[in-house]
Structure 1
Amino acid sequence: MNTTINADPQELAKFSELAHRWWDPESEFRPLHMINPLRLDWIASLVPLAGKRVLDVGCGGGILADSMARRGADVLGIDLASKPLKVAQLHAMEAGTPSIAYREVAAEALAQESPAAFDVVTCMEMLEHVPDPSSIVRACATLAKPGGWVFFSTINRNPKSFLFAIVGAEHVLQMLPKGTHEYARFIRPSELGRWCRDAGLDASGTRGLEYNPLTRRYWMSNDTSVNYLAACRKTA
Structure 2
Amino acid sequence: MAQLWSRAMTATTINDAEIAKFTAMAEEWWDPKGKFKPLHKFNPVRLGYIREHLLAHFGRDGTAMRPFEGLTILDVGCGGGLLCEPLTRLGATVTGIDAAERNIAIARIHAEKSGLAIDYRATSSEALAAEGAQYDMVLNMEVVEHVDNVPLYMKSCADLVKPGGLALTATLNRTLRARAFAVFAAEHILRWLPVGTHDWNKFLTPDEIKTLLTRNGLRVIGETGVVFHPLGDEWRRSRDMGINYMVMAERPKA
Task: Check whether the contact 2:140–2:169 (CA below 8 A) recurs between aligned residues.
Answer: yes
1:212 aligns with 2:229: yes
The CA distance in 1 between the partners of 2:182 and 2:149, in whole Å, is 21
Aligned sequence identity (%): 39
Aligned twin of 1:12: 19
Residues 226 and 74 of structure 1, relative CA distance in 2, 3 Å threshold: same
The CA distance in 2 between the partners of 1:8 and 1:106, in whole Å, is 11
Aligned twin of 2:60: none
Aligned twin of 1:47: 54
The CA distance in 2 between the partners of 1:222 and 1:51, in whole Å, is 33
Residue 62 of structure 1 deviates from its aligned partner by: 0.7
What is the 5 A alignment of 1:108-123? 108-115=126-133, 117-123=134-140
Q: Which amino acid aligns with 2:160?
A: L
Task: Check whether the contact 2:227–2:237 (CA below 8 A) recurs between aligned residues.
Answer: yes
Helix, strand or coil at the partner of 1:85:
helix
TM-score normalised by the chain length of structure 1: 0.95
Aligned twin of 1:77: 96
What is the 5 A alignment of 1:52-201? 52-97=71-116, 99-115=117-133, 117-201=134-218
Alignment gaps of 5+ in structure 1: none
Helix, strand or coil at the partner of 2:19:
helix
Deviation per residue, 1:10-54 (Å, 9 max, x gap)? 100000001001100000101111111211111111113332111
Residue 169 of structure 1 deviates from its aligned partner by: 0.7
The CA distance in 2 between the partners of 1:204 and 1:3, in whole Å, is 30
Residues 146 and 216 of structure 1, relative CA distance in 2, 3 Å threshold: same
Deviation per residue, 1:146-170 (Å, 9 max, x gap)? 0100001000001111011001111
Residue 207 of structure 1 deviates from its aligned partner by: 1.0
Q: How many residue pairs align between the two structures?
A: 233
Helix, strand or coil at the partner of 2:83:
helix
Alignment gaps of 5+ in structure 2: 1-8, 56-67
| Root mean square deviation of aligned Cα | 1.4
Helix, strand or coil at the partner of 1:31:
helix
TM-score normalised by the chain length of structure 2: 0.88
1:224 aligns with 2:231: no
Helix, strand or coil at the partner of 1:47:
helix
Which of the residues 21, 24, 34 maps onto 1:27? Answer: 34
